[in-house]
Structure 1
Amino acid sequence: MKDNIKIKPVIELCPSEYAKKEYDYPNGTAKEFADGWNKYWLKSLSDSGIDAVMPCILGYFFIEVSKISDRNLEIILKGQLENEKVEDICPLDGGLVIFVDDVPVVQPQCCSSLSDYQNWIDVINETSSEWKEVWIGHPMIYLRILNNKLQFSELTEDSVPKERVVNEFDFSLFQRELKRAIEEIEDFKKRVEKILERLDYNPVEKISYALINNTY
């Protein structure tokens, strides 16, 4: 059972949404060419004025919400909200990254959003011994709770989980760490609202809800 866990809320900044020019990128995965993908990502972000950022996982496009400067956050919000009606605003891409001994074991997948943290709350509150789906994008994972242990399935696209347990955590410890991560998201939401007010976006609360709490 793994006890040294850290849950980090992140947003994902896709390089194609920020690059003003076309750049060469590695012909391979982030695991194979982490440094190359990171350089491509940073160069793309810099085209839109985003700088001094550190990826949560080298080679991927995630930034911890607690480590985004107000200046960069303002650029991100302007891009997200450009020409959008309130009812059409999409949540920020991202989600939760779970680390064990500083190694990521769960991270957002395709079509994930920061608002997916609510899926974790729903499953944790059920305290079910049956496998329950947690949407983190696709492929997704399933969780179950046995003898105060939170068990994770492997990633799957199937509607029925594979029985193999790939991670196991003390349930009480995971609950505490998830609560801390949610508090971090709430702090981030307050920062977002302050910037929205300064930029004269209205209604502030509806927009911040759409960005952080709303689901696709």
Structure 2
Amino acid sequence: MELINTIEISPSEYSSNDYKSPNSSSLESKNEWYNYWKKCINDSNLTELEPIEKGSYFVDLNTINDTSLKIILLKALKEIDIENIDDEILPFNGGIVLKINDQKFIEPNCCCDIGNLADWLDILIAQKEEWHQLWIGHPWIYYKIADDLIYFSDYTDENDSLNIKEKFSIPRNVLGDKLKKIEQQREEFRLKIERNLIELNIQQPDKIANLLTGLN
């Protein structure tokens, strides 16, 4: 089982040209969508970025070097009033991807950001034998704990757990160990953001780094 901490790099935000996107879905045409994504982000010199898989917009935050991060930060802060950052700066879109044997079982959906780690950490202290909602955007999933296993549902838009069914399970201790590593990776990413903001001579680098990583 693998957890990947990601941020979303949307091609439309980094393209300076009106490229035509593929007509089919990313599941049907992964290579075409990958080529489209690369062409768009290369307009902003993000040539070294690679998605977690072809057809995805998610990038493992551990693979983002300083050169690419500076470009991403300048884009995120382009129209921000530094004097009013609490209201204007949101965490990076993205979140945690869960894979088992190279197959994705959970990935962030619409409106999810990397502050979503807090919801994952709640799993470790959740009451047993009850379904709990795990916010990963729209649609979301549910989980429950039983016999030292964590059971997850499929994606759903349901606001109650009456008809929720199990889809897969993982050992609770394994998830706990993986989440500790993810938490450490986010802190390292936060420090990396702060350092690059200082190099860019941007005010309040510590505060901005916290906001962008969902720690405020």
TM-score of the alignment, normalized to the shorter chain, above 0.5: yes
Aligned partners of 2:90 and 2:214 also within 8 Å? no
Partner deviation per Cα, 1:6-56 (whole Å, 9 max, x = no partner): 101000011110110111211121111111110000000011111122111
Q: What's 2:180 paired with?
A: 179
User: 5 Å matches for 1:20-59?
Assistant: 20-59=16-55
State the secondary structure of the residue aligned to 1:136. coil
Q: Which runs of 4+ in 1 moved over 6 A?
A: none
**Higher RCO, Cα 8 Å, sep 6+:** 1
Q: 1:126, 1:93 → 2: CA distance? A: 25
User: Residue 64 of structure 1 is aligned with which of 41, 56, 60?
Assistant: 60
Identical positions, percent = 28
115-124 vs 75-84, which deviates more?
Answer: 115-124
Aligned partners of 2:140 and 2:157 also within 8 Å? yes
Shift of 1:57: 2.2
* Residue correspondences, number: 211
Q: 1:200, 1:116 → 2: CA distance? A: 29
Runs of 5+ unmatched residues, structure 2:
none
Q: What's 1:107 paired with?
A: 107
Shift of 1:211: 0.3
Q: 2:58, 2:49 → 1: CA distance? A: 10
Q: What's 2:90 paired with?
A: 90
- TM (normalized to structure 1)? 0.94
Partner deviation per Cα, 1:61-116 (whole Å, 9 max, x = no partner): 01000001110010000000112131211110100001101221110101111111
Shift of 1:127: 4.1
Partner deviation per Cα, 1:95-151 (whole Å, 9 max, x = no partner): 000110122111010111111111111232224321111111110011110010001
1:78 paired with 2:74, answer: yes
Q: 1:32, 1:73 → 2: CA distance? A: 30
Q: 1:67, 1:129 → 2: CA distance? A: 38
State the secondary structure of the residue aligned to 2:73. helix
Runs of 5+ unmatched residues, structure 1:
none
Q: What's 2:5 paired with?
A: 9
